[in-house]
Amino acid sequence: MKNNIRVLRAEKRWTQADLGKMLGVSRNSVNAIENGKYDPSLPLAFRIARVFKKTIEEIFDDQQD
């Protein structure tokens, strides 16, 4: 699933490790999600949305599989 986490993270000037710390996951997890190689669980997707103060739909796009 495509997402724009990398762009949003860059806007906030956060590293993958920073974001991972905020979400409670490893840097590897953040990297895999950013690259679309791993789809996060619903609770993690909600956490991501909360961190960026956006809705899940604004971050993840299931149309571009």
Partner 1 sequence: MKRRFVIFVALKSPIAAYIAIALGVAYIWIFAPPFLITATFVGLCIMWSAWTFISVFRGTDELNSAGARYALAIASSIGVPLSIAFVMLMIAVPLIQDTIESTAALGKSGLSPTTIGFGLGVVFTTTLQCVGCAIGYTLWWRSKR
Interface residue list for partner 1 (CB under 8 A): 24-26, 28-29, 31-33, 37-38, 40-41, 44
User: Both tokens of residue 21?
Assistant: 């710390």
Residue number with CB closer to partner 1 (11 or 15): 15
Place of tokens 């699933």: 1
Place of tokens 């993958």: 16
Residue number with CB closer to partner 1 (13 or 41): 41
Residue number with CB closer to partner 1 (1 or 32): 32
d(CA 16, CA 31): 7
CB of 37 to partner 1, least distance (A): 5
d(CA 65, CA 60): 11
